[in-house]
Each structure stands twice: as structure tokens, then as C-alpha cells.
Chains A and B, each alone.
Chain A
């Protein structure tokens, strides 16, 4: 398919700008660019056809089953998209509430932020949230900054954060960027963070711990409270990475386990669209003693029932985003929670866990299960011994699934499992869909024994097949700079 730049025809125009109704101003020529930016010249239909064709080369949750482990690719309700486009939200200038009396003109938006805070408090067991973090990883960084502010206030000179080896890469990266050293704790034979291993690493240097629970193997750590207690014993803080909250939402709360700071991924648990890799939102919640450190501004409700923004908070870590977070994402998540209600949220966790265990049980015997027993929202397999003998790899299973119409699971993560296939079905998938996926997975496992070469040449139904990543990195081409035009 051609690049948009290769479709350009000199002189062609799409939208027309409204004619000027004031005299033109001639800015000094040395402050101007010598010629217009070299953008493509297209008709509106050229643009629409181009992006329609691109969209057809994409696969979303709306296309079919998307069991990408650790990403919670659940259905994104259309009602949330509809509401996010209401002019009263979409056209609202973020600086308006910072004008005197301007806050009274944004009461609807401030109320959404305020009520979302209350809802997330109850869901997680925390004392207060900031909606500002613009993504999950941004939430992690915010959480680490709060951790640092806490220790600074107490005069602690702590240097180190403990993180399990099965954690998402963002955990160590966020801790490092906040100025901490990271010590990786190896998982035990059951795939969990070991209480003894934590105990061995305890010292006055420990600022805190980052833990995902259930973890990236889909396992809930029954000793989570003991781990939090150990960390508290050295005046450390326990950080909950909420990437996998979908497994326990409406059932149990990280705040009750003993965590001091949590971040949530609204684009996972609360069904806002992933957008092809963003925008997301990563609200951060803290326990009572950490409330003063939350970023400014904070939405508060006044005695007269109106909402306002508070800026004057001496201990705050300061500003981490330009305004109040990815408001339109928070809004969608708010809509989702209102739609589901208390009962619905509990059903989310139950069905997410049921679906994962159903898939796990049905695939056991065809793929090697990374750990025995229950899983929560996702299950991790690796290829069977027979497949390995035939030199079939996890990537070949993934690519063959594409030809069967499914998005593959996450592969090669967590890195603690060799040839990992990480499957997260989510609660929004039906038994029929799961059965079709399971059948495809079993059939692929069988074919791996009979005709492994067909797996290695998959996919055959897509517009490209196994693009060469080495060539991409070596002959780096990340922008088309020369001005091209369509052949006339």
C-alpha cells in the first residue's frame, strides 16, 4: 500500500479554510519559513480512502477475540465514546476553572472527577486519588515520586525499591527514573514473590516495593499482606501495580491487603479504548497518611455542594500533568462504572477469572502450563515438549492463530517463562468465542506434530508476513522526508 505522501497531487486541496475577514499582516521575512511545510496535497476522499484502507489493515477488539495477556483487551462500550463527544465535555477549555468564577462554569466536569475519585476509593480501599497520571507507567512514576516525598519528609535516606522478576518492565524503569535503585526479587517455584526472599532483602535502605497482584502469571499471592507488613517494618511503602485489577475488581481491595499506593489502568479494568497504544489513564490512589503528597491540583467539594480545584498544598509533589489528567478517558471509565454498578463490577472479576480458568483447563495437556492450580484473569502456557522437538516456537503458534482469525496472546512475556504464551480472555468474551479459540489452539498443537513447517510459514492470510525487525533496526527508516507525488 502506498504512503499518503505518494498519493499527493500538486495543487489538490481537501478542506478549505474560511476566508480572512481582517487585513493580512506581513511578519518579518527572516522569522518565516521560506516555503510551506512539505505536506501531501490530497482531496478529502483521498484522505478518507487512505485511512479507511489503513483501518482495514488493523485488528481491534471489535474485529475478533484479542486475548493479549496483561493488556485486558475487553470490549469498549460505545456509550462511552458517545458521551465523550458531548460538546459540553469535548469543547471545554482546561484553563477555564483557573479563571476567577471560571470554576462555576465547569461544575459538570469537576463533578465527574470528584465522583470518580470517590468510586475508585471504594473500589480499591484507598483514601484519595489523583486523576492526573496520563498512562499506567505515568501513574507508576507518580507513585514513586509520592514514595520519595514521603521518605524526604521523614528524613529517611532510602535508596532501593524491591521489584519481582516477573514484573512489567515499566516498574523498574519508573523506579529508576524517580531516582531509585532497583533490586529484582526472583520468583519462587510457584511463580510468586517469596516472603522469605523479601525478608532477606530487607534493610533500612528499602524505600518500598512494587507488586502486581495477581501477578503477570495470573497468580494471586496469598501472602500479600505478610509481604506488605514486612515492608512497613522498615518504614517502606508498598506499591500496588493495578495492571491486573480486573481479576479482583468488586471482590477484594488492594488497600485492604496493606498497599499504600496504587495505580489503576483505566484502559484495562475500566474498558476505555486502547487506541492503538494510547491514550490511557493511570489514576493513583494513596492511603490517608500520603494524601498531602498527591499532585496538584486536587478537586474538592465545598460546603455549599459546589466543586473547586485546590492548589495550595505545601507537601504536594507538584504538577505532573498540564491539567486534570486525560479527562476524556476518565469520563469514559466513569460511564463504564455507572453502567455496571456494584453487582456488575463483581461479575466482571468473576467472569474474567472463570473465562481464564476455562481456557487454562481446556488447553492443559496440549500446551505446557507454567504453574499448576488456579489462575486469576490470565493464564500462561509455553509450548509443549513435542512442539519444541519439532522446533516450533511460541511465535509460530501466535502467527498461526492469526490465520485462524484471532489476535495472538502475548508471547515471550513474562520473561520468567520460556516460550511464553500469555492468554487473557476477559469477561466480555462468550463461551462460544472461547471454544472456537480453544479448538484453534488445540488444532495448532496437533499440527505442530504433523506439519510443523506450515506453522513456521504463517500467517498467509495477512497483507504482510513476519516483517524483518533486524532490517528495520539496521537500515533505520523511520520517516519519509523526500517530497513525493503520485504518478500523473
Chain B
């Protein structure tokens, strides 16, 4: 039997030694429940399984030239990333409950937390959360705990995939989730300033936002701080290679999707939710945290710390129900950032901006195509208005070998003809030219 080493003879020997039969071992389960004939397929050999799964993998179109983003990006991943995270001492271990046997994982988490702080310009970070969406939800809950208030304002330029998740999670709770509508591609200042009051726990914004537009939220931070609330910023980690940091904007809690940091797209997961904050809020922060300490001989060592906040101690009163983190994904992001270094990350970010800008120029030169937001700075994504329904045009371009972008009508009522186009550093000038030609031909 695969993965079960004891032979039938050994099993009999062990049963004899403990004076039981196999049936005895399950005698505590009422008989009516243990007589079932399961309708499950027979076992396959490794070769059969690999062949079958290869066939299924081949049915997925991963050869389209990808201009699809929406918060999930096709970035280049150096080979050394996979080589390092494939070391089985990392991936076959569990949460580092025994620090003597887990200094590798613990130091890596500590270094990851440091990296997230350095990227975002914040003081503290946790060991990671499931994804960018649940991280944003956790940030909101954290803000409620810190302020003791229950009103949250979110701008609709925040990734709609995250916003619909927030709606699900808050349905059974006494939270007032208010939304502002972005203006000209940027968070709506007029509406925000009108809505922020002394009941506001937090304002939630994103930079670059879902449309790729770059903003500076320093003014919003001032406004919400004046009323005693917090600013939560969701951000794209690659953009922090060049963009003004949430820390410099005086954000209080920073989250984001870490998938771009060396993690393959894998049809939606596993991904990496990162979270950073200020030192004064660290005890209200959810999730695992690794801390530096010393051992009995004074040697530098790492442990899980601040566990008094967590579910296994606090149970129903914990800061969150989260039990694990996305340790292997956090390790992936750490290795990726080490390989890129400050200059590599800066160049990658700059190339995304350069290529997106080039694509924007190239595509807006096509008759009938217009930019949706005029004169705004964007990072790796931008919105164009097509002469007809974007969803149709995208479908036609799939047939020509392009995942050309995302139709915004899916989440925004008044954007039927709008397409969100993403350009990462992986796309070439030639591919952008090919997209332009294909697009022109289907209009």
C-alpha cells in the first residue's frame, strides 16, 4: 500500500502484542456507521496519476500572452526561489512549536517580518495571513479593536474582490461598512472628508488602486487621525520598489497580497497576505509573530511570541481565529526579495511602470480607444474605454492568443466598455506590439 510501511505480517504482530484485532480497534464506533462500502475509485500507480494529471494540466491555457492582472500578477520568478523552498526541512515541518527544532522557520519568519517592515516603512509585521483579502478583513477587525468604534469607510477603488469578501465577513457583525465612489480614478476626497467623523474606526484605501492609479493618502491620514480613526492601506508589494510607502503616508495598518513576490499564480492559491502596523498596535495585531530572544546560554534565538493574543490561549476572546500562517509562502517572498535586493526590486517596479506606460501610449493611439481616467499616474495597470463591450473584445482576443485584460463591467455598473490591462516586467515591447495589432484587428 503506498505510503503505509507496515506489512500485513507486521500489522498482525502489532495487533497480537496489544491483544486486539483490527475490528476491535474500531469497536467504539457503532456498527451501523462502520459497515459502509465506499464508492471510491481503485488506487492508481504513480505513473497513471502523473499521466492523468498532465493531461488535465494540458487542458489549461497557460500559453496565452498575459495582460491579465487585477491584483494577481505574472512576474518573473528566479529559479533559486523554488530550489530553496523545496528543501523538505522547510516544507514538511509544522508551526514552530518546538523552537530548538525550528530555528530555520523562526529566523526566516523574523527576516520576513523585517522585510515587510522595510518594504512598507512600518515598525511591526506579523508572520503572514492567508491572502490579501483576508488580511484586509483582519486589518479592519484590528482597527475596530483599537478604536472601539464600528464604522468603516472603504473606497470603491479598493480591489472589488476584497470588498465583496468584507461584505460576507461583516454580515453577522455590528459593523457599519460605508463605501465612497472614486473620482477620476483616485479615492474620493470630498466624499471621504464628508463621511469621516468621530465614529469612524478606519478608512480603507489601496495604492496603486484596482485601476492601477497611484495616489498619496497623506491628506486622508491627517483627516482620519484628527477624528481619532485609523488609515488602512492595501498595497502592491512590487510597487514599493519605487512608490511612496504607506508608512510615509502615515498609514496605521498596511496589508497586501504577496503573490507577486515569487509565488506562482496557481489558479488562485496558495497566496500570501501580509500585514504591518505601528509598534503601539502590535498587541492588537492578529496572527503569528516570531520574536528574537536569547536561549539559556545567551545565544540569539527565535520563538513565537505574543501568543497571549491567540486562539489557543484566549479561545473565544482571541484577536483572530487564525491558527496557522502561510509560512511557506512567506519564505518564498523572503527568498525572492533577497535575490532581487534593493536595486532588483527598484528595476522590476520601474520596468512594470515603463512597460505599462508604453502599452498605454501604444494602445491609446488606436482609433476608437480612449483612456478612462485622464492624466493620472498609473503603475502596472491602466483602464481603457473600447468602442464596444470589453467582455466581447477580450473573448475575441483570447482566440488570438491573448489574455488581454479584465472587463470592469463585472464589478462596476457604468464601465461596460472598460478594460483593465496589466503589464508586468515579463512582457516585451514585441508582445505589447502584437497585442496592439490584435486589438485593432478585432475592433
Contacts and interface: CB of A to CB of B under 8 A. Distances in A.
A413 B95 CA distance: 15
Contacts of A83: 49-50, 53-54, 57
Nearest to A138: B130
B377 A36 contact: no
B42 A342 contact: yes
Contacts of B87: 51-52, 55
A101 B395 contact: yes
A68 B102 CA distance: 14
Interface in A321-347: 321-329, 331, 335, 337-347
- Interface range on chain A (Cβ under 8 Å from partner): 35 or more
Contact of B4 (A57, A222, A351): A351
B33 to A, nearest CB: 4
Interface stretch (B116-124, B194-202, B224-232, B435-443): B116-124
Contact of B321 (A173, A280, A357): A173
Contacts of A134: 130-131, 134, 269-270
Contacts of A253: 33, 36
Given A462-B101, A464-B295, A274 B93 contact: yes
A32 B377 CA distance: 11
Interface stretch (A38-46, A197-205, A384-392, A443-451): A38-46
Interface in B33-52: 33-34, 36, 38-44, 46, 49-50, 52
Interface string B162-179: 101101110111000000
- Interface range on chain B (Cβ under 8 Å from partner): 35 or more
Given A96-B61, A358-B18, A431-B10, A250 B38 contact: yes
Given A145-B168, A168-B312, A467-B295, A252 B101 contact: no
Given A17-B344, A31-B214, A39-B345, A275 B327 contact: yes
B271 interface: yes
B371 interface: no
Nearest to B308: A473
Contact of A350 (B22, B214, B353): B22
B367 interface: no
B324 A137 contact: yes
B198 to A, nearest CB: 25
A394 to B, nearest CB: 12
B2 A340 contact: yes
Most chain B CB within 10 A, of A112, A252, A346, A376, is at A252
Interface string B251-294: 00000000000001111111100000000001000001111111
Contacts of A225: 30, 33
A486 interface: no
Contacts of B116: 479
Nearest to B74: A93
Interface string B306-346: 10101111111110111111111101001101111111111
Given A39-B342, A321-B131, A176 B40 contact: no
Contacts of A351: 4, 6, 11
Nearest to B165: A319
A328 B57 CA distance: 12
A317 interface: yes
Given A346-B38, A350-B22, A479-B117, A402 B101 contact: yes
A462 B323 contact: no
Interface string B376-406: 0100000000000001101100110001001
A477 interface: yes
A353 B24 CA distance: 11
B188 to A, nearest CB: 18
B102 A100 contact: no
A321 B344 contact: no
Given A138-B134, A173-B315, A324 B93 contact: no
B41 A342 contact: yes
Contact of B306 (A33, A82, A374, A473): A473
B86 interface: yes
B91 A275 contact: yes
A1 B17 CA distance: 47
Contacts of B282: 476, 478
A357 B27 CA distance: 13
A373 B50 CA distance: 43
In the A-B complex, the 4 residue pairs with the closest CB atoms: A88-B57, A323-B268, A341-B43, A58-B104
Given A39-B340, A176-B317, 16 more contacts: A3-B114, A22-B354, A33-B243, A47-B80, A74-B3, A135-B324, A168-B312, A273-B92, A325-B269, A327-B267, A338-B44, A350-B26, A428-B3, A472-B293, A478-B290, A479-B124
30 contacts: A4-B334, A5-B114, A13-B341, A22-B429, A25-B353, A25-B354, A38-B342, A39-B345, A48-B84, A62-B92, A76-B92, A79-B46, A86-B54, A93-B66, A95-B70, A99-B406, A106-B267, A134-B270, A177-B321, A253-B36, A278-B128, A279-B130, A317-B168, A321-B133, A322-B268, A323-B269, A343-B42, A376-B28, A462-B103, A464-B295
